[in-house]
């Protein structure tokens, strides 16, 4: 442990926030830079321990690399911290905490994450295939289920899972997924909705279609693909296809219909 002369004047002009905690785990001293970071005068903090400080300042006694403080009436602060042990002129052991205010960086990151999420929420097309993404597929299914509830119309939800032939754990190349998506577009009706629900899982909404007719259609597509319909793939692997269907029934909400469809996949 290093022994130093505790020169308060030197620390008072230091631009880095500093806090000294004594062996009784009380705050012995803080410099003006930390007062400015916390927007609190030192006499409200010096001489206090964790129990006597407001809860929002308890993190001052933590020794993590980053701490989050909640300040009454003035929002929040995020401080980056380093800790070392010293001895003052009276050989009293002190723990010195050094702080940098990183609140602007944290707030900027939070705003960036929020904007990214808003953009993702507004996006309704899958980036690779250009078809409906998971969010848009669920929205379309909501509309169709509402219509079936109101008018009793037939509605069948189909699922088609693609997998690498003979290697179910290996991801398919993008080109295979693109060719399969294009083939489904050409093969299904204009009223049907095809969505990329997961990386290698398509959901197919087929309004005015019984589950028997829906299953027959998907089986025809599987047979055609096995018989060479995906010639555009060239050297890319022809995927193995698994299919399942479920017809809307009274009491089904969209998630229940999805769950029933995927159960037998």
* Residue 168: per-residue pLDDT: 67
Domains (range + CATH), the chain = 2-108 (3.30.450.20), 124-263 (3.30.70.270)
Contact between 222 and 240 (Cβ < 8 Å): no
Alpha helices in 152-252 (DSSP H): 174-187, 211-226
Q: What is the pLDDT of residues 28-58, one digit of tens each?
A: 888 999 988 888 888 888 999 888 888 888 8
By C-alpha distance, which of 201, 179, 205 is closest to 191?
A: 205
Q: Which residue bears the tokens 């602060």? A: 77
- Look at residue 62 and tell me whether its pLDDT is greater than 90: no
Q: Residue 46: how many CA atoms within 13 Å on its side-chain side?
A: 13
Rounded Cα distance between 233 and 255, Å, is 34
Of 60-64, 102-106, 149-153, minimum mean pLDDT range: 60-64
Q: What is the pLDDT of residues 243-260, one digit of tens each?
A: 999 999 999 999 999 999
Helix (H, G, I), strand (E, B) or coil at 29: strand
How many H helices and E strands in the chain? 7, 10
* Residue 123: per-residue pLDDT: 84
Mean pLDDT across the stretch 127-152? 94
């Amino acid at each position: 442990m290093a022994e130093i002369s505790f020169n308060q004047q030197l620390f008072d002009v230091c631009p880095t926030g500093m806090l000294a905690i004594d062996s009784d785990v009380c705050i012995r001293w803080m410099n003006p830079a930390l007062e400015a970071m916390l927007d609190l005068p030192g006499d409200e903090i010096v001489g206090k321990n964790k129990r006597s400080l407001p809860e929002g300042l308890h993190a001052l006694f933590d020794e993590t690399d980053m701490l989050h403080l909640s300040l009454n009436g003035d929002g929040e602060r995020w401080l980056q911290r380093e800790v070392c042990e010293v001895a003052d002129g009276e050989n009293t052991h002190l723990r010195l905490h050094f702080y940098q205010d990183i609140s602007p960086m944290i707030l900027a990151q939070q705003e960036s994450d929020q904007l990214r999420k808003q953009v993702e929420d507004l996006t309704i097309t899958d980036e690779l295939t250009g078809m409906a993404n998971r969010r848009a597929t669920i929205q379309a299914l909501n509309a169709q289920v509402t219509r079936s509830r109101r008018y009793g119309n037939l509605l069948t939800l189909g699922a088609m899972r693609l997998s690498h032939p003979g290697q179910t754990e290996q991801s398919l190349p993008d080109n295979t997924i693109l060719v399969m998506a294009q083939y489904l577009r050409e093969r299904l009706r204009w009223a049907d909705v095809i969505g990329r629900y997961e990386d290698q899982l398509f959901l197919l909404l087929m309004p005015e279609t019984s589950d028997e007719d829906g299953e027959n259609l998907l089986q025809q597509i599987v047979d055609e693909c096995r018989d060479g319909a995906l010639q555009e793939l060239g050297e890319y692997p022809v995927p193995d296809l698994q299919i399942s269907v479920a017809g809307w029934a009274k009491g089904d909400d969209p998630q229940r219909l999805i769950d029933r469809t995927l159960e037998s996949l």
